[in-house]
Amino acid sequence: MSTKLAAMILAGGKGTRLQALTRKVAKPAVSYGGKYRIIDFPLSNCANTGITCVGVLTQYESSELNTYVGNGEKWGLNGVRSLTSVLTPKQTEEGSNWYLGTADAIYQNIDWLDRVDPEYVLILSGDHIYSCTYREMLKKTIEADADCTIAVYPVSWEEAPRFGILVTDKEGNIVDFQEKPKKPISNLASMGIYIFPYKILRAALIADAKDEKSEHDFGKNIIPKMMADKKKLVAYTYHGYWKDVGTIASLHQANMDLLLSGDGATNLYTVQGDNRIYSEDTHSAPSYIGEKAHVVDCLINQGANVLGYVDHCVISGETVIEEGAVCKNAVIMNGAIIRKGAKVEDSIIGPDTLIDTGESVNLEHDGISLVVNGKAGK
């Protein structure tokens, strides 16, 4: 697939609804599941698909993310016949230009795509959690001779206004599209995953760049324009776990989902071969569960030191939960310390955060609480 399909991962958003977690770190670099970062999922999916040309487009607070992605070595994408490039906004003769939207981000890197010269381009979001390969989606694109294939996922009607919403006919052709509608006409949500023949995509991006009224966004501009031009757009329905972790509550829930079993689970423990998720090896010491610790239904990463009571928690590496501390239904991120007598419930405790002796967090169960470096929020 080396030149047949290239991937472009959009990883430049601010992720402001994750509050203090993304104040100094790009959303795709946020910790998840005790040992992963969110960006591990789309990059692993690309590697498992056999895609060997991947561009990662970064922008907001990108230093840590750029360093983490590096040359793609963690995902096996740094070989002689593979290429991973971190693509940041460029300074040109006209000046330094931020990416103005999702479509503009791809447009500003047309020269990179031209050098790769793919037959098809896969466009992904860098902040969704799911495990799959894109082979069947590409196959459908080719068989349908589609100008664009959009991956879709049924969501609840309550969630539908957060997404681009699609309507399809019996053959799976897209016949209507709404971008984040107040009153959705369907609950079939765009996952923000697109496959285009590169010639079609290139022409659409160049035309959009010339439109001064455009917001240069796939959902708001490129897709509606293609529909208006009677291009052939088809839907590919994804079956499996998928989570858009756009809020503190959804990030917490995605972590809690790791403790589920059955069809609703993220299923990191049963995936093999094509669906394995790769991440950074921190070379930490083994996790330690103390003599007086009480552990119920938890995910505990290497390097964690658990001496207290933990129930239904996702615990990252290099954390300390002291004897007498109580954590329930909590996500404890890398380097956090929960002191003796502290109580934490229904919360995310951010990286390197201290919950001091006797402190309590969200015992009133008022939604999901976030504490980062001692500062609490909702």
CA atoms within 13 A on the CB side of 251: 32
- Give the number of other CB atoms < 10 A from CB of residue 228: 8
Residue 168 φ/ψ, nearest 5 degrees? -120, 160
pLDDT at 83: 84
Distance CA 155, CA 149 (A): 19
pLDDT at 231: 95
CATH topology of domain 5-275: Spore Coat Polysaccharide Biosynthesis Protein SpsA; Chain A (3.90.550)
Distance CA 199, CA 102 (A): 18
pLDDT at 107: 95
pLDDT at 78: 83
In terms of residues, how long is the chain? 378
CB 235 within 8 A of CB 174: yes
pTM of the shown model:
0.91
pLDDT at 268: 63
CB 304 within 8 A of CB 293: no
Which pLDDT tens digits describe the chain residue by residue (378 residues)?
Answer: 446 999 999 998 777 888 888 888 889 999 999 999 999 999 999 999 999 899 999 988 888 999 999 989 898 888 767 888 999 887 665 655 788 899 999 999 999 999 999 999 999 999 899 988 999 999 999 999 999 999 999 988 988 998 889 999 988 999 998 888 899 889 999 999 999 999 999 999 999 999 999 999 998 999 999 999 999 999 999 988 888 888 999 999 999 999 876 555 555 655 555 678 889 888 889 999 999 999 999 999 999 999 999 999 999 999 999 999 999 999 999 999 999 999 999 999 999 999 999 999 999 998 999 999 866 554
Question: Which 3-state string (H, E, C) describes 14-79?
Answer: CCHHHHHHHCCCCHHHCEECCCEECCHHHHHHHHHHCCCEEEEECCCCCHHHHHHHCCCHHHCCCC
pLDDT at 205: 97
pLDDT at 12: 83
Amino acid, single-letter form, for residue 311: D
- Does domain 288-377 bear CATH number 2.40.50.140? no
Locate 371 and state its tokens: 């504490």
Cα–Cα distances in angstroms (integers) from residue 51 to residues 54, 55, 61, 81, 172, in the given order: 7, 11, 27, 10, 25
Cα–Cα distances in angstroms (integers) from residue 95 to residues 86, 92, 105, 217, in the given order: 20, 5, 16, 21
pLDDT at 1: 45
**Identical fold, 5-275 and 288-377:** no
pLDDT at 2: 45
Hey, where are the domains in the chain?
Answer: 5-275, 288-377
Distance of alpha carbon 78 from its chain centroid, rounded?
A: 21
Distance CA 33, CA 286 (A): 17
